[in-house]
């Protein structure tokens, strides 16, 4: 019976139990154990019929287990375990609790068989995850968290409108493939797009992830955006618009990532860029490309978590993640540096690392469908990934100039989390067939052909050569304490300033209008007073004789009219 | 002290060997393209050493493009607020 309960149940119950456990090893061990148990239960199966309940005349399915949802379910369990292991040192109740609820909600959304269940978990991911930002307990983090919450909840509200309209139009709430041809599906698409950080809807990502706690960012990086990728892959595979959106997503973050100073922000932009590859895969929509999306999401969660962990470990030890304040840490943090390099090699798609075997599925998918420009953009973006995540993050953190900092190596549990993640990155890279075996479709693909290895090495090595040459010529962007304006400027500066100007204008208009109204009213009252006041024509006192005469005249006139 | 491979390469001479090895690798990759007939999706791929040239040029474009972006859109850390996350130090007390 217990084994057929919905998977989020383990996380939600585990989360509430964790509150009552003593802070420290017991609590930390418990929150690590929960995802492991959930993973074992998932692998054991038993939801062939789903987990359905009737609610307000609707059939809700909490466990639609098929190959696509299973891939995401597995990697979410693994990510939750690794994230919690990385956070083993925490001696508080909020973050471990929230981490379990958040990951459970994301897993619940992945297995949701209907749009209503999806909506509930969709919102729960938003509401729970914001506490990982607020746990930083600074004014800046509070405001970032509020912005994050507003945007995430907005995504849920848009989804709810879409679902309601969809039900009205079709009479169904099943979460299946949809066509982008009505307002309902457009709203659902936009809701997914907000969480997936589509261009112009993406800023919550770069705003919130660097604002979260060290461990919070690692947890955050795994779930929300990949849940959105899953939702797109489930709901809108083969939607051509996604190809162009995805291509744009791969390109623009590269330039930002290259000049951002906060390395966690660099990684957030890099995450945006990687999402672009997955979105392109969904847009292409062939079995090969969709496998690519699922495989890339799987390996991406691992190497991105690894990069966030290594920068997080540095932040933990040095108190900063600014490139301008780091450098030369390889002397005292060699293991963290090694793990960071493994993450960098994986994201850059070096052969024998996970990114190589997953990204190439998407590239081949786009190539086979003859999207030449898109394919060229993806190759360009591959060079871009190398530039910021492959080179910049490890180079400015652990090498480059000596910052003079000599921090201790990361704590044992962090090293363990990074080590296990590194092993997975390499394992997937060397034995890709084990990853391909759990993909949604049976597609034969061999990434290790001589020409593929050669071309990939050519691309990467010559990009690195360009880096060396430009570095020697001192042409690389310097690390300075600065930020770069992005689209969030519109709602953080432009719209508030426009709104305040409009309000000021309205206030002025109101004041002037009131004054004119006041004057007109006074004038009118004066006139009325003049006519009807004590001295007015209409209210002057007449003698009785005059009134009798007046009435007699009126009577004569009336008589005259009647008679003639 | 534990063996630290990065410190091993601190010496300029060893680093030079590493760099030289890398340059040889680049050279080999460049030359190998002569002898390999690749399966291609698009005509442009058949250009000799397409990937090498594309990688080199695109990387350079990214670097110069990002510098231009900073020139246009770069702002001080306290641009949004005095106490924005961009501008604050990480509060380490509760986690360290």
pLDDT score, position B39? 80
Residues A224 and A327 in one domain: no
Asked if A375's CB is within 8 angstroms of B33's CB, the reply is no
> C-alpha A384: how far from its chain's center?
21
Question: Tokens 């079995």 map to which residue?
Answer: A287
A89 and A130 in contact (C-beta within 8 Å)?
Answer: no
Question: Quick check: is A95 in a domain?
Answer: yes
Any CB–CB contact under 8 A between A434 and chain B?
Answer: no
Any CB–CB contact under 8 A between A427 and chain B?
Answer: no
DSSP reduced 3-state for A262: strand
DSSP string, A109-152: HHT--BHHHHHHHHHHHHHHHHHHHHTT-SHHHHHHHHHHHHHH
CA distances from A432 to A71, A353, A458 (A): 14, 9, 21
Return the percentage of chain A with pLDDT > 70, whole number.
Answer: 99
Per-position b or e across A341-367, b if 16+ CB within 10 A of its CB: bbbbbbbbbbbebbbbbbbbbbbbbbb
Say how far apart CA A123 and CA A157 lie, in whole Å: 9
pLDDT score, position A266? 96
Give the number of domains in chain A.
2
Question: What's the per-residue H, E or C state across chain B?
Answer: CCCCHHHHCCCHHHHHHHHHHHHHHHHHHHHHCCCCCCCCCCHHHHCCCHHHHHHHHHHHHHHHHHHHHHHHHEEECCCCCCCCHHHCCCCCCCCC
Return the percentage of chain A with pLDDT > 90, whole number.
Answer: 86
* Chain B residues closer than 8 Å to A256 by CB: 66, 69
The residue among A432, A453, A485 that closes a domain is A485
pLDDT score, position A2? 62
Closest Cα in chain A, distance from residue B68 (Å): 9
Work out whether strand B74-76 and strand A482-484 pair parallel, antiparallel, or are unpaired: antiparallel
Q: pLDDT class for A314, splitting at 50, 70, 90?
A: very high
Dihedral sign, Cα of residue A283, residue A286, residue A290, residue A296: negative
Say how far apart CA A441 and CA A289 lie, in whole Å: 10
Residues A394 and A254 in one domain: yes
Closest Cα in chain B, distance from residue A297 (Å): 24
Closest Cα in chain A, distance from residue B34 (Å): 12
Residues A160 and A40 in one domain: yes
Any CB–CB contact under 8 A between A398 and chain B?
Answer: yes
Asked if B56's CB is within 8 angstroms of A462's CB, the reply is yes
Residues A45 and A162 in one domain: yes
DSSP reduced 3-state for A482: strand
Question: Quick check: is A102 in a domain?
Answer: yes
Question: Quick check: is A533 in a domain?
Answer: no
Residues A175 and A45 in one domain: yes
pLDDT score, position A101? 97
**Number of cross-chain residue pairs from A and B with Cβ atoms under 8 Å apart:** 196
Asked if B83's CB is within 8 angstroms of A337's CB, the reply is no
How many CB atoms within 10 Å of residue A23?
A: 13
Radius of gyration of chain B (CA): 23
CA distances from A318 to A209, A325, A329 (A): 19, 9, 10
Query: Would the pLDDT of A116 be above 80?
Result: yes
How many CB atoms within 10 Å of residue A82?
A: 26
Closest Cα in chain A, distance from residue B2 (Å): 10
Tokens of B35: 């002898």
Asked if B84's CB is within 8 angstroms of A138's CB, the reply is no
Q: Which of A85, A94, A90 is CA-nearest to residue A129?
A: A94
Q: Output phi, psi for B10, to 5 deg.
A: -65, -35
Residues A115 and A168 in one domain: yes
> C-alpha A427: how far from its chain's center?
28
The residue among A460, A485, A510 that closes a domain is A485
Q: pLDDT class for A278, splitting at 50, 70, 90?
A: very high
Could you list the residue range(s) of the whole structural domain that residue A174 is in?
Answer: 1-235
pLDDT per position as a tens digit, A406-444: 999 999 999 999 999 999 999 999 999 999 999 999 888
Tokens of B46: 């058949």
A399 and A479 in contact (C-beta within 8 Å)?
Answer: no
Residues A213 and A342 in one domain: no
Tokens of A68: 């696509």
pLDDT score, position B1? 53
Tokens of A495: 């719209």
pLDDT less than 50: residues of chain B: 94-96
Closest Cα in chain A, distance from residue B35 (Å): 11
Question: Quick check: is A39 in a domain?
Answer: yes
DSSP reduced 3-state for A61: strand
Selected for mutation to probe chain B from A463, A473, A474 (highest B CB count within 10 Å) is: A463
Say how far apart CA A84 and CA A76 lie, in whole Å: 12
Asked if A466's CB is within 8 angstroms of B60's CB, the reply is yes
Asked if A458's CB is within 8 angstroms of B41's CB, the reply is no
Residues A228 and A314 in one domain: no
A340 and A397 in contact (C-beta within 8 Å)?
Answer: yes
A282 and A244 in contact (C-beta within 8 Å)?
Answer: no
Selected for mutation to probe chain A from B34, B48, B59, B72 (highest A CB count within 10 Å) is: B59
Closest Cα in chain A, distance from residue B13 (Å): 17
pLDDT per position as a tens digit, A143-158: 999 999 999 999 999 9
Asked if A139's CB is within 8 angstroms of B91's CB, the reply is no
Any CB–CB contact under 8 A between A456 and chain B?
Answer: yes
* Chain A residues closer than 8 Å to B5 by CB: 334
Residues A224 and A345 in one domain: no
A87 and A96 in contact (C-beta within 8 Å)?
Answer: yes
Say how far apart CA A101 and CA A84 lie, in whole Å: 12
Question: Quick check: is A560 in a domain?
Answer: no
Question: Quick check: is A75 in a domain?
Answer: yes
Asked if B69's CB is within 8 angstroms of A255's CB, the reply is yes
Question: Tokens 């083969």 map to which residue?
Answer: A238
Across A400-503, the runs of DSSP E, i.e. the strands, are 482-484
* Chain A residues closer than 8 Å to B11 by CB: none
> C-alpha A242: how far from its chain's center?
17
Question: Quick check: is A449 in a domain?
Answer: yes
Tokens of A267: 């990684």
Residues A90 and A228 in one domain: yes
Side-chain half-sphere exposure of B87, counting CA atoms within 13 A: 12
ipTM value, please give it: 0.93
* Chain B residues closer than 8 Å to A140 by CB: 81, 83-88
Say how far apart CA A78 and CA A421 lie, in whole Å: 9
Say how far apart CA A460 and CA A346 lie, in whole Å: 12
pLDDT score, position A3? 66
Q: Which chain B residue shows the shortest CA-CA distance from A256? A: B66
Selected for mutation to probe chain B from A465, A489, A491 (highest B CB count within 10 Å) is: A465
Tokens of A151: 């945007």
Contacts of A244 (CB under 8 A, 6+ apart): A283, A374
pLDDT per position as a tens digit, A76-112: 999 999 999 999 999 988 999 999 999 999 999 999 9
Which range, A58-67, A284-293, B7-16, has the best average confidence (pLDDT)? A284-293
Residues A414 and A436 in one domain: yes
Rounding to the nearest 10 degrees, give the CA dihedral for residues A60, A66, A70, A72. Answer: -70
Question: Quick check: is A500 in a domain?
Answer: no
Say how far apart CA A69 and CA A117 lie, in whole Å: 14
Selected for mutation to probe chain B from A482, A486, A487, A495 (highest B CB count within 10 Å) is: A482
Nearest neighbour of A255 by CB, restricted to B29, B54, B62: B62
DSSP string, A383-427: HHHIIIIIIIHHHHHHSSS--S--PPPPPHHHHHHHHHHHHHHHH
Any CB–CB contact under 8 A between A472 and chain B?
Answer: no
Closest Cα in chain B, distance from residue A58 (Å): 44
Say how far apart CA A308 and CA A301 lie, in whole Å: 10
* Chain B residues closer than 8 Å to A92 by CB: 94
Residues A286 and A248 in one domain: yes
- Largest Cα separation within chain B, whole Å, is 60
Q: pLDDT class for A510, splitting at 50, 70, 90?
A: very high
**Bridge partners of residue A482, in order along the sequence:** B76
Q: pLDDT class for A529, splitting at 50, 70, 90?
A: confident
Nearest neighbour of B41 by CB, restricted to A262, A334, A367: A367
């Amino acid at each position: 019976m217990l084994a057929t309960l919905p998977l989020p149940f383990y996380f939600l119950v585990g989360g509430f139990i964790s509150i009552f456990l003593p802070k420290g090893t017991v609590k930390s061990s418990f929150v690590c154990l929960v995802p492991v148990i959930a993973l074992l239960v998932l692998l054991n199966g038993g939801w062939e019929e789903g987990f359905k309940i009737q609610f307000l005349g609707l059939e809700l399915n909490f466990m639609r287990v098929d190959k696509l949802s299973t891939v995401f379910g597995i990697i979410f369990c693994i990510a939750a375990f690794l994230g919690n292991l990385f956070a083993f040192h925490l001696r508080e109740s909020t973050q471990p609790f929230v981490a379990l609820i958040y990951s459970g909600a994301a897993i619940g959304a992945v297995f949701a068989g209907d749009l209503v269940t999806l909506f509930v978990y969709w919102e729960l991911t938003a509401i729970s995850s914001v506490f990982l930002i607020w746990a930083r307990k600074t004014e800046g983090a509070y405001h970032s968290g509020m912005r994050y919450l507003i945007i995430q909840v907005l995504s849920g509200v848009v989804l709810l409108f879409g679902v309601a309209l969809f039900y009205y139009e079709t009479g169904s709430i099943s979460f299946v493939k949809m066509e982008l041809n009505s307002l309902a599906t457009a709203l659902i698409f936009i809701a997914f797009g907000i969480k997936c950080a589509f261009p112009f809807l993406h800023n919550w990502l770069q705003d919130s992830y660097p604002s979260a706690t060290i461990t919070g960012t690692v947890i955050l990086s795994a779930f929300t955006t990949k849940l959105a990728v899953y939702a797109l892959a489930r709901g809108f595979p083969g939607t051509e618009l996604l190809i162009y959106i995805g291509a744009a997503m791969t390109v623009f973050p590269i330039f930002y990532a290259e000049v951002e100073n906060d390395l966690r922000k660099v990684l957030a932009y890099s995450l945006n860029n990687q999402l672009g590859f997955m979105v392109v895969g969904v847009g292409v929509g062939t079995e090969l490309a969709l496998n690519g999306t699922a495989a890339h999401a799987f390996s991406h969660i691992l190497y991105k978590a690894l990069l966030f962990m290594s920068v997080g470990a540095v932040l933990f030890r040095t108190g900063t993640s600014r490139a301008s304040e780091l450098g030369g840490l390889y002397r005292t943090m060699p293991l963290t540096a090694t793990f960071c390099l493994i993450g960098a090699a994986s994201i850059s798609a070096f052969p024998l690392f996970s990114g190589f075997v997953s990204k190439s599925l998407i590239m081949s998918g786009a190539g086979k469908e003859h999207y030449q420009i898109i394919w060229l953009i993806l190759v360009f973006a591959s060079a871009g990934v190398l530039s910021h995540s492959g080179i910049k993050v490890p180079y400015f953190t652990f090498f480059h100039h000596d910052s003079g900092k000599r921090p201790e190596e990361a704590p044992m549990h962090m090293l363990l989390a990074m080590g296990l993640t590194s092993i997975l990155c390499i394992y997937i890279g060397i034995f890709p067939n084990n990853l391909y075996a759990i993909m949604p479709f049976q597609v034969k693909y061999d990434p290790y052909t001589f020409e593929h290895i050669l071309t990939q090495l050519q691309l990467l090595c010559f990009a690195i050569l360009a880096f060396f040459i430009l570095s020697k010529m001192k042409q690389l962007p310097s690390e300075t304490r600065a930020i770069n304006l992005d689209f969030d400027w519109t709602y953080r500066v432009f719209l508030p300033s426009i709104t305040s100007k409009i309000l000021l204008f309205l206030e002025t208009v109101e004041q002037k209008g009131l004054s004119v109204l006041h004057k007109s009213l006074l004038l009118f009252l004066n006139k009325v007073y003049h006519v009807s006041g004590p001295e007015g024509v209409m209210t002057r006192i007449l003698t009785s004789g005059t009134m009798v005469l007046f009435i007699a005249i009126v009577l004569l006139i009336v008589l005259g009219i009647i008679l003639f | 002290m534990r063996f630290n491979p990065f410190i091993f390469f601190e010496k300029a001479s060893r680093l030079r060997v590493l760099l030289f090895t890398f340059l040889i690798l680049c050279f080999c990759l460049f030359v190998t393209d002569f002898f390999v007939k690749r399966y291609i999706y698009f005509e442009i791929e058949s250009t000799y050493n397409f990937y090498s040239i594309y990688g080199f040029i695109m990387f350079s474009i990214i670097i110069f493009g990002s510098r231009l972006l900073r020139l246009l859109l770069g702002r001080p850390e306290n641009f949004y607020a005095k106490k924005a996350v961009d501008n604050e130090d990480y509060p380490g007390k509760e986690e360290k």
